[in-house]
Amino acid sequence: MKTAARQDLSSPQNPLLRALRRALREGEPGADGTFGVEGPRLVEEALRSPVEVAALVAARSAEARLAALEARANGRVRSYLVPDRVFRALAQTETPQGIAALVRLPKRRLEQCLEQPNALVAVLVGLQDPGNLGTILRSLEAFGGSACLLAENTVSPFNPKAARASAGSLFRVPMFRRLKLAESLRLCNQLGFRTVALAPRGGSELRRVDLRGPVALFIGQEGSGLPDAALKQVDTIAEIPLAAPVDSLNAAMAATLALYEAARQRASAK
Amino acid sequence: MKTAARQDLSSPQNPLLRALRRALREGEPGADGTFGVEGPRLVEEALRSPVEVAALVAARSAEARLAALEARANGRVRSYLVPDRVFRALAQTETPQGIAALVRLPKRRLEQCLEQPNALVAVLVGLQDPGNLGTILRSLEAFGGSACLLAENTVSPFNPKAARASAGSLFRVPMFRRLKLAESLRLCNQLGFRTVALAPRGGSELRRVDLRGPVALFIGQEGSGLPDAALKQVDTIAEIPLAAPVDSLNAAMAATLALYEAARQRASAK
C-alpha cells in the first residue's frame, strides 16, 4: 500500500476549502468540473467508482475514517486534514460526519451511451425533488439503465440530497443535463427508441407495455406530471393501476416500478 | 351546505391549541387518541377519509383555504381561526401553510383486518425513516393492501414526515403498532398467511415468489435489514435482482416493488 499524500490545512480561506464550501453549498459543479460530496459512505462510493476524486477533506476528529478511505484509495488521492470548526463551517449537513470530497465525473458522449443495444434510458422532465432524482438514479443503475437525461430544469443531481439518495449511483450512471424535451424526443426517435411516458391515468397498464429493446421512459414533474407535448408525442403512455382512492404515486416510486418492470420483462425474454 | 361552527382563538394557552402544538411536535397521539396533521393537502385527505376530524385550525391569512375545507366538510367539523403568529408557533413545518387539524383514527380489530380473503399485509420490523414508512403506507393502499403491522420500534406513522409521505394513506390503511416480531410471525402463521421476507440477497427472485392468497411481507430496518430470527422463520425469502455494483434498494422502494409484484400477480390470476 502506498502512503497517501496528506496535508494539514487550517485556514478557511484556503482556495481548496473555499472551493469545497462553494461546491457543497451550491450543489453544482464549479468551472473546473468538480463538485462536492459529503459523508463517509458517499465518499467511499466515489472511491470505488470510475470518477476522479480530486481531494479528500476530513475533520481532525474523523482522522481514523480518513485513514480507512486513504487505504481504500491506495495512494491515488490527495487528502487534507482540517480543524473540526473549519470542517463544520464548510459542511452543509446538520450533523457533519467529518468527511467530504471534491469529485469530477468523466466526460461522456450522449450518443455513445444511447447507442448501446437494448439501452434503457430515463428522461426526467422538470423533476423538482432532489431525493426523487437520487432515488431514480439508484433504481436506474439497479435495473440496468444506460443513461439519465435531465430535461426542462430538472433539479441538479449534484444537490447533496440527490447525491445521498442516489447512494453513489450518480457517480456511475451517465447523466446529460440541460436538454429540452423536444430535443430529447427527437434524439430518442432518431435512435430508434420506443418512447414511453409514465402517467397516472389514460395509458395502457404498465405490465402490458413492451419494455424490451431500446426504451426511453419519460417521467414528469411531481405535481403536474408530464407536459401535454410529451404525452402527445411519445409512442406509448403507461400507467400503473392503483386502488382508489390513491390517484398517483410519488414520481420516484412510479419510475422505480417502471424500471423494475423493464428489467423483469428483459429477464423473462432471455 | 350547512354553516360551519367557527370560532376565533387568540391565546396560545388555549387548551386546544396546546394539544395541537404538542401533537404536532411529538408526532404521537395524545391520551384522547387525537394526533396533529399539517398542511391543506393532508387535512383535505383527512376530510375525505373515514376518520374523525376533531378540530380544524387555520391562520388568519389562510381564511380562504379554511372556508374551502369547511365547505368540503359540510358543517361536520369545528373550526378555529387564530392569529398568524400563534399558528407559526404551533406549526412544525418551516414554511407553514396556515392549516392544521386534530384527527382521530377509528379503532380497528387486528384479526378482523387480517381475516379478509387474500389479505396483503406489510410487517415493518424496526423501520426508522418516517419518509420510508409513509411511502410504504401509500404503496400498500395503492396496491390493495389490507393492513400494516409495525413491529420492533418502527418509527411512528404519526410523525409529520410519515404523514406527508403517505399522502393521506395513513388515514385509511389499518395500522397496528407496538407488536413484537415473534407475535407478528405467530399471528400470520395462525391465520394461514404465506410469510415472505424481503432481503437484498439469499432469496428467490421476487417475480418467482407466489404472492397470491394471504401474504405477509416482512420488511426490515434501512441499514441492517431483517433480523436473523425473521429470515429463519418466514416461509420464503424474496430478493429483487440488482445489477452490480448496486447492492440494495431503499427500503421503501423494495417494499413498493414487492407490493406492485403482488398486485401484478393477483391481476394476472384473474
A68 lies within 8 A of chain B by CB: no
Q: Say yes or no: B45 and B154 in one domain.
A: no
Residue with cell 442516489: A166
Query: Both A42 and A120 in a single domain?
Result: no
Residue A23: band (very low, low, confident or very high) from pLDDT cuts 50, 70, 90: very high
Contact A252 B249 (CB under 8 A): no
Window A:113-142, CB contacts with B under 8 Å? 131, 135, 138-139, 141-142
pLDDT (tens digit, 9 = 90+) per residue, A217-263? Answer: 999 999 899 999 999 999 999 999 999 999 999 999 999 999 999 99
Chain A residues in contact with B268 (beta carbon < 8 A) = 207
The answer to whether residue B1 scores a pLDDT higher than 70 is no
Q: How far is A6 from chain B (nearest CA, A)?
A: 29
- pLDDT attached to residue A68: 94
Q: Is the pLDDT of residue B42 over 70?
A: yes
Would you place residue B92 in the very low, low, confident or very high pLDDT band (cuts 50, 70, 90)?
confident
Reply yes or no: is the peptide bond before residue A15 cis, omega within 30 of 0: no
Q: Which candidate from A135, A143, A241 shows the least CB-CB separation from B250?
A: A135
Instruction: Say what the pTM is.
Output: 0.93
Q: What's the pLDDT band for B199 if we cut at 50, 70, 90?
A: very high
Cross-chain CB nearest to A142 (options B144, B172, B243)? B243
| Confidence bin at B3 (pLDDT 50/70/90) | low
**How much is the pLDDT for B67?**
95
Q: Would the pLDDT of A1 be above 80?
A: no
Interchain contact A260–B (C-beta under 8 A): yes
The C-alpha cell at A189 is 426517435
Q: Which CATH number goes with the domain that contains A30? A: 3.30.1330.30
Whether residues B138 and A246 touch (CB distance < 8 A) is answered with: yes
pLDDT at B14 over 70: yes
pLDDT at A164 (0 to 100): 94
- Domain shared by A89 and A144, yes or no: no
Of B143, B240, B264, the CB nearest to A243: B143
**Shared domain check, B116 and B55:** no
The sheet that has A236-239: what strands, in order across it?
A: A175-179, A147-151, A120-125, A215-219, A194-198, A236-239, A204-205
Q: Does A242 touch chain B (CB under 8 A)?
A: yes
CA distance A160 to A21: 12
What pLDDT is recorded for position B95?
Answer: 79
Distance, first Cα to last Cα, chain B:
43
Say whether both B150 and B261 belong to one domain.
Answer: yes
A192 dihedral zone (left: phi>0; alpha: psi -120 to 50; beta): left
Q: Residue A75: is its pLDDT beyond 90? A: no
> What ipTM is given for this predicted complex?
0.90
Residue B48: its chain A contacts at CB < 8 A? 245
In degrees, rounded to 5, the angle at the alpha carbon of residue B250 between the alpha carbons of residues B246 and B252 is 150
pLDDT digits (tens, 9 = 90+) for B228-260: 999 999 999 999 999 999 999 999 999 999 999
Residue in chain B closest to A139 (alpha carbons) equals: B249
Of B104, B121, B152, the domain-final residue: B104
The answer to whether A163 and A137 are in contact (CB under 8 A) is no
The length of chain A, given as a count of residues: 270
Contact residues on chain A for B241, CB-CB shorter than 8 A: 263, 267
pLDDT of residue A3: 53
Question: pLDDT confidence of B268, banded at 50, 70, 90?
Answer: confident
Considering the domain architecture, whether residues A78 and A122 belong to the same structural domain is answered as no
In 3D space, the residue among A207, A183, A204 whose CA is nearest the CA of residue A125 turns out to be: A183
Are B133 and B169 in contact by the 8 Å Cβ rule? The answer is no
Of A104, A133, A155, the position where a domain reaches its end is: A104
Angle, alpha carbons A123-A128-A129 (nearest 5°) = 105
Mean pLDDT of A96-117: 93
What total number of domains does chain B contain? 2
pLDDT computed for residue A268 by the predictor: 85
In the structure, what pLDDT confidence band is assigned to residue B191 with cuts at 50, 70 and 90? very high
Secondary-structure percent of chain B, ordered helix, strand, coil, rounded to 5: 40, 25, 35
**Are A20 and A50 found together in one domain?**
yes
Chain A contacts of B257, Cβ < 8 Å? 256-257, 260
Same-domain check for residues A86 and A133: no
Beta-bridge partners for A204: A238
State phi, psi for B268 to the nearest 5 degrees: -65, -30
Q: Which residue has the higher pLDDT, B265 or B268?
A: B265
pLDDT value at A127 more than 70: yes
Q: How far apart are CA B231 and CA B35, in angstroms?
A: 34
**Cross-chain CB nearest to B253 (options A135, A243, A267):** A135
A-B interface: how many C-beta pairs under 8 angstroms?
A: 76
Check whether residue B90 and residue B208 sit in a common domain: no
A50 touches chain B (CB under 8 A): no
Give the CATH number, domain containing residue A139: 3.40.1280.10
> Of A36, A23, A35, A37, whose CA–CA distance to A164 is shortest?
A37
Q: Chain A residues with CB inside 8 Å of B207's CB?
A: 264, 267-268
Angstrom distance (rounded) from CA B60 to CA B55: 16
pLDDT for position A269: 75
> What pLDDT sits at residue B4?
52
**Beta-strand pair B215-219/B120-125:** parallel
A98 with A155, same domain: the answer is no
Do B199 and B238 contact (CB within 8 A), yes or no? yes
- Any CB–CB contact under 8 A between B191 and chain A? no
Domain that includes residue B200, residue range: 110-269
Residue whose grid cell is 415472505? B196
Q: How far is A167 from chain B (nearest CA, A)?
A: 9
Determine contact: B200 vs chain A, CB below 8 A. Answer: no
Give the model's pLDDT for residue A46: 97
Last residue of a domain, one of A75, A104, A133: A104
A156-196 pLDDT per residue, tens = 999 999 999 999 999 999 999 999 999 999 999 999 999 99
- pLDDT confidence bin for A213, thresholds 50/70/90: very high
Q: Are B24 and B38 contained in the same domain?
A: yes
Report the run of H or E that residue B34 belongs to, with start and end. Answer: strand B34-38
